[in-house]
């Protein structure tokens, strides 16, 4: 039986390197805290309004159908477990700007707009066009953080949040601007090796929870959008986790 890793090598407590005086400081802390709260209280598998749209054993994707002014804004949630990688590694690659286009198959381009600190930056992302809708783009801050389980009130996890924002160098004037609140939260489970030998990649499993609340902006045909989501979210998770496995397989484990 897999055990939750409560004894991972010492990591710093919750740290934010963005200065408290920064205009995004409060928002980032609130958004991160909401995601952690949601992680601990929401079990979509037990809720009737959440529908499973993909079940591939170790990966399940759920959605809740929701519309706002006729625009589908279905919240998505996926849970998956992947062997051989840690939560830190998964979050690091999900957050890293320089390798984003190596696994992102739904973007035409991604441009860093501003680095706010060593754990937070703003980027502009142009999404591939889906016929017959207009092309979309997004402008969001990406923040990575380790949450320690110091008080046993929260799980020891890594989190990345991609959250829409405005930026003077990224005006919404060329494409339809989507808005989003996306989080990837990872816990590392270690199966203790026999005879206290060194932990290898065979002993680790990452439990990933991915949530995406996306408003596609202007008009988008619901049936096309839902069909694209059903195909693209599982594809993204498979492609992205395979990418992390491949990138880390010959590297030291990053706990």
- What residues make contact with ligand 18C under the rule CB under 6 A? 100, 104-107, 125, 127-128, 130, 133, 136, 138, 162, 178, 180, 182, 212, 214, 216, 220-221, 224-225, 228-229, 232-233, 236
Rounded to the nearest whole angstrom, what is the least distance from the CB of residue 82 to ligand 18C in the complex? 16
46-59-123 Cα angle (round to 5) = 100
CA atoms of 101 and 103, how far apart (whole Å): 5
H or E segment and range at residue 59: strand 59-63
Rounded to the nearest whole angstrom, what is the least distance from the CB of residue 3 to ligand 18C in the complex? 29
Q: CB atoms < 10 A from the CB of 165, how many? A: 16
Q: What is the 3-state secondary structure (H, E, C) of 71-138?
A: EECCCEEEEEEEECCCHHHHHHHHHCCCCHHHHCCCEEEEEEEEEEECCEEEEEEEECCCCCCCCEEE
Which residue lies nearer to ligand 18C by CB, 5 or 125? 125
Rounded to the nearest whole angstrom, what is the least distance from the CB of residue 200 to ligand 18C in the complex? 29
CA distance from start to end of the chain: 20
Which residue lies nearer to ligand 18C by CB, 54 or 228? 228
Establish whether the linkage from the previous residue to 132 is cis, with ω within 30° of 0.
yes
Which residue lies nearer to ligand 18C by CB, 204 or 217? 217
Give backbone dihedrals phi and psi of 98, rounded to 5 degrees, phi first: -65, -20
Rounded to the nearest whole angstrom, what is the least distance from the CB of residue 129 to ligand 18C in the complex? 8
Which residue lies nearer to ligand 18C by CB, 104 or 119? 104
CA atoms of 100 and 66, how far apart (whole Å): 29
3-state secondary structure of 29: helix
Rounded to the nearest whole angstrom, what is the least distance from the CB of residue 250 to ligand 18C in the complex? 25
Which residue lies nearer to ligand 18C by CB, 133 or 199? 133
| C-alpha radius of gyration, the chain, whole number | 18
Rounded to the nearest whole angstrom, what is the least distance from the CB of residue 110 to ligand 18C in the complex? 6
Rounded to the nearest whole angstrom, what is the least distance from the CB of residue 6 to ligand 18C in the complex? 29
Which residue lies nearer to ligand 18C by CB, 91 or 190? 91
Which residue lies nearer to ligand 18C by CB, 76 or 85? 76
CA atoms of 249 and 91, how far apart (whole Å): 16
């Amino acid at each position: 039986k897999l055990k939750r890793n409560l004894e991972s090598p010492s990591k710093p407590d919750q740290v934010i390197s963005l200065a408290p005086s920064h205009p995004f400081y409060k928002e980032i802390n609130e958004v991160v805290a909401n995601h952690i709260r949601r992680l601990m209280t929401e079990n979509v598998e037990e809720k009737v309004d959440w529908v499973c749209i993909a079940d591939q054993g170790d990966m399940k994707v759920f959605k809740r159908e929701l519309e706002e002014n006729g625009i589908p804004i279905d919240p998505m949630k996926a849970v998956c477990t992947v062997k051989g990688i840690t939560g830190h590694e998964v979050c690091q690659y999900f957050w890293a700007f320089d390798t984003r286009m190596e696994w992102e198959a739904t973007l035409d381009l991604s441009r860093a707009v501003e680095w706010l600190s060593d754990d937070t930056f703003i980027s502009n992302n142009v999404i591939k066009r889906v016929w017959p809708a207009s092309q979309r783009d997004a402008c969001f801050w990406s923040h990575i953080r380790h949450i320690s389980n110091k008080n046993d009130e929260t799980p020891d996890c890594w989190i990345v949040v991609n959250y829409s924002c405005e930026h003077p160098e990224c005006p919404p004037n060329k494409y339809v601007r989507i808005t989003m609140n996306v989080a990837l939260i990872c816990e590392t489970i270690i199966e203790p090796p026999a005879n206290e030998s060194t932990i290898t990649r065979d002993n680790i499993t990452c439990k990933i929870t991915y949530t995406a609340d996306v408003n596609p902006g202007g008009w988008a045909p619901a049936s096309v959008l839902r069909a694209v989501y059903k195909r693209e979210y599982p594809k993204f998770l498979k492609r992205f986790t395979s990418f992390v496995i491949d990138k880390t397989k010959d590297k030291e484990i990053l706990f």
